[in-house]
Structure 1
Amino acid sequence: MFVRAYLRASTQEQDATRARAALEAFAAERGLAVAAWYVENESGASLKRPELFRLLGDCKAGDVLLIEQVDRLSRLNDADWEALKREIGARGVRIVALDLPTSWQSIATADETTARIMAAVNGMLLDMLAAIARKDYTDRRRRQAEGIAKAKTEGVYKGRREDSERNAAIVSMLSKGMTWSSIQKATGCSRSTLSRLRERAANELSQS
């Protein structure tokens, strides 16, 4: 059994590694070592998470996917959550979340009957917590949209300010043929930002 820890934050401005100490402490208390860390800054409402699927690709049956909270794994809609669960189930991966104490027992349970019962209980609780995480996500998006609409009506909405200096540096790196991975490491930007800036630069070049 290998324990593989997954750390996620939604934006580049957030620290995805914030929970690392808590996961390390949890593993150490149980005499476990984290075999690998997978860190990314991507929305939990999207299945397009390269590091999560790299983790699953590295897993063998019986391995543990360790997370701080269920919402680090999923803020997905029903269809995408079911797709992710099928992928996890097909690989025989066990989810252990710090905010789901019943999942902790899956690490130490050897008895087959107990293990099956706990798997059923955890599956139900995971579904519930994933649904709550999705509701929190949609509620926040709704409130944000309402706030923007109100600000626009009042003529005070300015939108998010672009980091023009950073983006110019990214465009320069792209033009020099640097890999996306190296640019991400150097600037902390997301792949969606890279794609957007590459498309913008291509359009500007075609119009010049």
Structure 2
Amino acid sequence: MIVGYARVSTAGQCLDVQLDELNAKGCERIFSDKATGTNMDRSGLAQMMTFVRDGDTIVVSRLDRFARSLKDLFTLLDQLTVKGVAFQCLHQPIDTASSTGKLTLAVLGAVAEFENDLRRERQREGIAKAKAAGVYKRGPVIDAAEVLRRKDSGENPSVIARAMGISRMSVYRTLSASVG
């Protein structure tokens, strides 16, 4: 079965162009959302992912209508691969049912991994430079035993936080971590 997915970011936008393209492609069932791509809790996407079966193909007009980042795209495509579902994008040359589409996807994945590596390198370099300049300071190390001792002696989280030079939220996280 050919299954379509369309998404627009706001309720004021129109799905018509995407729906026309998906219908022209022969989609037998189309799921849609009117939600921002940053929201991975999209009901239409979730329904589609549950609906598709081995041998189906999902068709989208553009990649940015399906996933907000390469990481999200690869996560979704991994889920589809496990289910035996192919993926096709009408405006970008990706069709996981073809060898060329799989190659294109692999190249995109390699580029995304390369970009992540570069970002981590720049971050490490920036931290090293800040440390050398004496301006990189990590937060205080939290003595969990001291937090627990103070709590057991009846101090409230605000008092513990002030006394230890940490945030009240850090006190709550430490107490929560010690319970479970």
Q: Partners of 2:94 and 2:78 in 1: how far apart?
A: 21
More RCO (CA 8 Å, sep 6+): 1
Match of 1:124 among 106, 111, 116: 106
Q: TM-score, normalised by structure 2?
A: 0.53
Counterpart contact for 1:56–1:91, Cα < 8 Å: no
What is the Cα deviation at residue 39 of structure 1?
A: 1.3
Counterpart selection for 2:33 from 37, 40, 44: 40
Across the aligned residues of Structure 1 and Structure 2, the Cα RMSD in angstroms comes to: 2.6
User: Whose radius of gyration is greater, 1 or 2?
Assistant: 2
Q: Which runs of structure 2 are paired with 1:34-113 in the superposition (5 Å)? A: 34-76=27-69, 78=71, 80-103=72-95, 106=97
* Deviations 1:44-63, CA, capped at 9 Å, x for gaps: 12211111121111111121
Alignment of 1:7-26 (within 5 A): 7-25=6-24
Identity of matched residues, %: 21
CA distance in 2, matches of 1:66, 1:99: 10
Q: How many residues align?
A: 112
Hey, what does 1:112 align to over in structure 2?
A: none
What is aligned with 1:134? none
Q: What do residues 77-136 of structure 1 show as CA deviations (whole Å, max 9, x unaligned)?
A: 73x444323222221211111112352x83xxxxxxxx4x3353142256489x6xxxxx
Paired with 1:22 and 1:97, the residues of 2 have a C-alpha distance of 11
Provide the C-alpha distance between the structure 1 equivalents of 2:110 and 2:44, rounded to a whole number of angstroms. 24
Hey, what's the Cα distance between the residues in 2 that align with 1:5 and 1:50? 14
With normalisation by structure 1, the TM-score equals: 0.47
Contact 1:63 1:92 in 2 (8 A): yes
| Secondary structure in 2 matching 1:46 | coil
2:58 is paired with a residue whose SS is: strand
Letter in 1 for 2:23: E
- Give ranges in structure 2 of 5+ residues lacking alignment: 113-180
